[in-house]
A = this chain, B = another copy of it.
Amino acid sequence: MPHSKVCVSDNLSHYMPLTADDHRLLEELEQNPRTATKDEVLWQSDDVPATLYTLRSGWAYSLHSAGSGNEQILDVFLPGDLLGIRELTFPAYATSLVMLTDGVVCPFPAERLLNIFESSPTLTLAIHASAARQQAIITERLVNILRHDARSRIAHFMLELYYRLKRIDATFTHDFTLPLSQRDMSRLLGMTTVHISRTLTELEREGLLRKTRRNVQILDLDGLARVVSFDPFKITDKLNPLFKGGASGSWTQRNPVSSARPSR
C-alpha cells in the first residue's frame, strides 16, 4: 500500500476544529469499508449519483470520456478525500471514477451527507471548504496547462502532488511512490505519452526530477519552483477568517479579521 490510512475526519479537521459529535457523524460515513482493486470502477458516466465514497487508502482518479480515445483525467484523489461531491447534484455523472491502486473505500448513501448538512453547520462548512479545494486544484492545474509548456506542466503537477502528499503523510520525503503511468499523466496534462517521456528525460537531465516506473524523486525543489510558480496557498487549509472557529451560531457576529493573507 503506497500510503497509510487517512480518514475523512483527519482531512476535514485540517480546516477547522471539529466537535466530538462531528467526528462521530463522520465515522458513521465510514462504517462499511471495503477493499477496492486497481482499475476498479466505482461509478461510470451517466450513472445517477446515489452513493458517495470516502477514500481510506490508495489513489483514484476521475475520467472524463468524450468519444473514443478522447479521455481526460480531471481529479487525482488521495487518501482522506471525499469522492463524488462535485457531481452530487447532477442527474448523471459526467465522469467515471477509477481506482489507481488497490485501496480501501467506504461507500455511503448520498442521503447521509444531506443529514450532515441538516445537523451540523460546522461540518457542512468543512465539507464545502474541502470541495472548494478540490475544485481549486483542478483550476490551478488547468490554468497552468493553458499558459505553459510541457516542462512547466509536469513541474506544476509534481509540486501539486508534493504539497498534497506532505499534508496527509508525516513520513513524507522527496522520494515518493507515484502510481501514475506516463499514459495516465498524458491524460491528466493534455499531452501525448511520447512527449511526456521526452520531457521527463529533459527534467532529469537538468537535475530537477527523476521519475522511474513507480517512483518520483524531487531532486531540486527550488529549481522546480523556478520552472513554474506553484502557489501552495491556492489550495491552503486556511479558512476565510469570517469562518474562524466553525460555523454554528455566531455567523452573524463577525469575528475580528485577525490576519489577512501574508503579503508575498
Contact = CB atoms under 8 A, between A and B. Distances in A.
A142 B50 CA distance: 27
Contact of A91 (B50, B111, B261): B261
Contact of A89 (B87, B111, B138, B239): B239
A227 interface: no
Contacts of A213: none
Indicate how many identical chains form the complex.
2
Interface residue tally on A, bucketed by range: 35 or more
Contacts of A128: 89, 128
Contacts of A229: 66-67
A83 interface: no
Interface stretch (A162-170, A174-182, A241-249): A241-249
B261 A48 contact: yes
Contact of A252 (B111, B145, B236, B254): B111
A189 to B, nearest CB: 8
Given A90-B240, A92-B233, A143-B64, A121 B111 contact: no
B72 A146 contact: yes
Contact of A46 (B66, B239, B261): B261
Interface string A137-177: 01110110111000000000000000000000000000000
A247 B114 CA distance: 9
Contact of A234 (B72, B94, B251): B94
Contacts of A247: 114
Interface of A: 46, 48-50, 64, 66-67, 70, 72, 74, 86-92, 94, 110-111, 114-115, 117-118, 121, 124-125, 128-129, 132, 135-136, 138-140, 142-143, 145-147, 190, 229, 233-234, 236, 238-243, 247, 251-252, 254, 257, 259-261, 263
Given A46-B260, A91-B261, A128-B128, 5 more contacts: A70-B147, A94-B136, A94-B140, A111-B252, A147-B190
